[in-house]
Amino acid sequence: MSSGTRSELLSRLAETIDSVTVGHPVRVAIDGPPAAGKTTLANELAVVLRAQGREVIRATIEGFLFPKAQRYRRGEYSPEGCYFDSHDHETMCQVLLDPLGPAGDRKFQRAVYDRSTDTTLRVPIAEAPADAVLLFDGVFLLRPELADRWDFSIFMSVTFERTLDRAQTRGEALAGSAASTTEIERAWQDRYIPSQELYLATAHPTDRADIIVHNEELQRPAWEIRSR
């Protein structure tokens, strides 16, 4: 296991992604539990790669959610609903992952859903150059039905207690109320943590990831590079 500064981690990730040789855009999964730091890492990594001259496509699992009625059909706090009913993987593969893959035409859409309005998005189709990098962050990305769609994968490892602390801090900053903290804690304890435990037990994502980033301390991360 290696450790260092945030900048050292980003440099190492960029270097490792650059070493991935495929004849199509490199599809990078940034997986991990909610509030593990996936989106932040993806955004920071995008800056580094763009500075090196790579075209980066940023996308997130939030752009491929099912409508709210379907996501919560088993109940607002159902962990099974979180794992099985939340994300439209078929469409995600159809419009993004497969077009950027070895048999694709590189014409893609980065999202199909707007969570703020719970409606379908009509995002224009774009065409990626062959040497582009897709940085895709989200939960449950290394489940069996998606695992072979990625050319490189990162798993953000953080204790559930730390993710809850971060979520509560973020929720308080956004909502400014004690009630939001209670709601966040219930969602974490009843829905998000059990769904992650289900994922870890059935999909074993840390066995599939190319790099595991231990992101407990944001400015002093540690990382493990797995054999490909």
Q: Is 44 exposed, middle or buried (0-12, 13-18, 19+ CB in 10 A)?
A: middle
Tell me phi and psi for residue 65, to 5 degrees: -75, 150
pLDDT of residue 218: 86
pLDDT of residue 3: 87
3-state secondary structure (DSSP) of residue 57: strand
| Average pLDDT, 10 consecutive residues per value, the chain (228 residues) | 92 96 97 96 98 97 97 96 98 98 98 95 95 98 97 97 90 57 91 98 97 93 83
Here the tokens at position 191 are 């829905």
Give 62's contacts (C-beta < 8 A, 6+ positions apart). 111, 113, 115, 138
pLDDT per residue as tens digits for the range 181-201: 888 999 999 999 999 999 999
Compute the distance between CA of residue 128 and CA of residue 107 in angstroms, rounded to an integer. 7
Domain ranges of the chain: 2-225
pLDDT of residue 172: 60
pLDDT of residue 70: 96
pLDDT per residue as tens digits for the range 48-72: 999 999 999 999 999 999 999 999 9
Compute the distance between CA of residue 74 and CA of residue 163 in angstroms, rounded to an integer. 24
Among the listed residues 210, 201, 194, 217, the one whose alpha carbon sits nearest the alpha carbon of residue 29: 210
**Which class is 2-225 in CATH?**
alpha beta
